[in-house]
A and B are shown apart, each in its own frame.
Chain A
Amino acid sequence: MVWVIAVMLFLTVLATAGGIGTARATGAVGVQVGGRATVQIAAADPGRREATAGEAASLLAGVAGVSGVRVVPRAEIAQLLSPWLGGDADDVDLPIPVLVDVTLADAGAAQRVRQALASLPGARLDLHSQALAPVRAFLRTMSMLATLLVAMMLGATAFVVVLAARAGLEAHRGTIEVMHMLGATDVQVARLFQRRLSLDAALGAAVGGVAGLAAVALLGAQASALGSELLGAVTLGAMGWAALVVLPFGFVALAATVARRAVVRSLGQML
């Protein structure tokens, strides 16, 4: 049973870490980009683009719920485009749209910004929350799957413990009968099985827990090294790590409780 518990806990630690990480990433993505929008001005005339951008910035600065407005400098846009356009990205003849970064302070601000921009032809509003909605949905689904996986792992672990307890009862039926004849109560007999199975579970939990935590730490380090903004949001935080550390203890407690109940239930069928 030791190795089964070890494998179960290893997988549960990974699933829990994945669930916590994606849940936190979902929240982080919402907080980081949910309150941001970009106004894109794509007029054909460069002078008109710049003028419209200035007008948009002035207009939006006065809209309620807008906490920040910034016209993105052309050099910055060129830098963003340089991976695709190379050194030509800064060419003044390229019809690159002018971008205005808008920071929204409340949920209703997006609608007010949209209404304000209606009077500016050629200005298009891109809400980051809309663009990242599929990503958030994906992360939410991953988080729910991880929760389901953890629940299934706990159920499977409980089942393994019940099977181990029943096998132990069958293997030691003679000893149990003798103990009963000497006046042992079901609780006294169950305690022996509980102790044995808990020790096995503790050993398995130690092995699986250490391996699982090491794997999560390694994955975290590698994700950080990628430098991806999205993967960077997949963190566990102090509470997440604490939950992972508590998991092995939870496994041992689960094994002890299930073993006790299974044994007492089986003993109840004997005289």
Chain B
Amino acid sequence: MQFENVGLRYGQGDEVLSDLSFSLTAGEFYFVTGASGAGKTSLLKMLYLAQRPTRGAIHLFGTDVVTLPRQRIPGFRRRIGVVFQDFRLVPHLSLADNIALPLRIAGVLEDEVDEAVSEMLAWVGLTNRAQARPSTLSGGEQQRVAIARAVIGRPEILVADEPTGNVDEAMADRLLQLFASLNGLGTTLVIATHDLQLISRVRSAQMMRIDDGRLLDPTGMLRHPPGRHT
């Protein structure tokens, strides 16, 4: 994924993100950090194609997604897993059906869906709650379901907005191991978090910092910092 001079403004307001130019290399693990309101979520929205920039170019999988016709966007979205900050589980579907959504949308056969969902439920420790509705779960449980839904389709890129914000430390560790194992399988991870401890636990990860709408590399942890694209 490559951003070139990307800027984003909402309506007629000031730019919330300015002059973003960076590359994300396939198979790498990235953290995006920054103060509240710095623009992390806006950056992630552009990464998972929920928002087009107001200027600049974004190339994803070798295609300019800014000018991509609307009807071609779903094909790209299916290659990206998203964990929303507010989970966004479908309230009238069971946990199993929520997790199965990406596969059903992609037209995967029901037998394969059932098998994958069972595996995911076991993986996030919610097998016994498979038929429960999201409203009956705690915040941490909902977050685990959201993560299971994001990864079930084996996405090439996983974008997560504060994925450990509602779980205890033990679960955060477990989720981190999960992310690391996904990364080991070749998935590119982009995780927005305030949790510096979480960042420090993944030694191979690179860090991007958003400060006042601009991308910085204050710690030198970004192997491809702004202005030096690969």
Contacts and interface: CB of A to CB of B under 8 A. Distances in A.
Interface in B74-96: 74-75, 77-78, 82, 84, 88, 90-91
A271 B70 contact: yes
Give the one of A174, A177, A184, A188 with max B CB within 10 A.
A184
Nearest to A188: B105
B48 to A, nearest CB: 6
B90 A181 contact: no
A182 B77 contact: yes
B105 A178 contact: no
Contacts of A188: 105
Contacts of A182: 77-78, 82, 101-102, 105, 149
A183 B78 contact: yes
B177 interface: no
A177 B86 CA distance: 13
A268 B70 CA distance: 8
A185 B84 CA distance: 20
Contacts of A184: 74, 105
Contacts of B102: 182-183
Interface in A147-181: 174-175, 177-181
Nearest to A186: B71
A175 B105 CA distance: 13
A185 B88 contact: no
A181 B50 contact: yes
Give the one of A178, A188, A271 with max B CB within 10 A.
A178
Contacts of A177: 50, 88
B50 A271 contact: yes
B26 interface: no
Interface of A: 174-175, 177-186, 188, 268, 271
Interface of B: 48-52, 70-71, 73-75, 77-78, 82, 84, 88, 90-91, 101-102, 105-106, 149
12 contacts: A174-B88, A180-B77, A181-B84, A182-B78, A182-B82, A182-B101, A182-B102, A182-B149, A183-B78, A183-B102, A186-B71, A271-B52
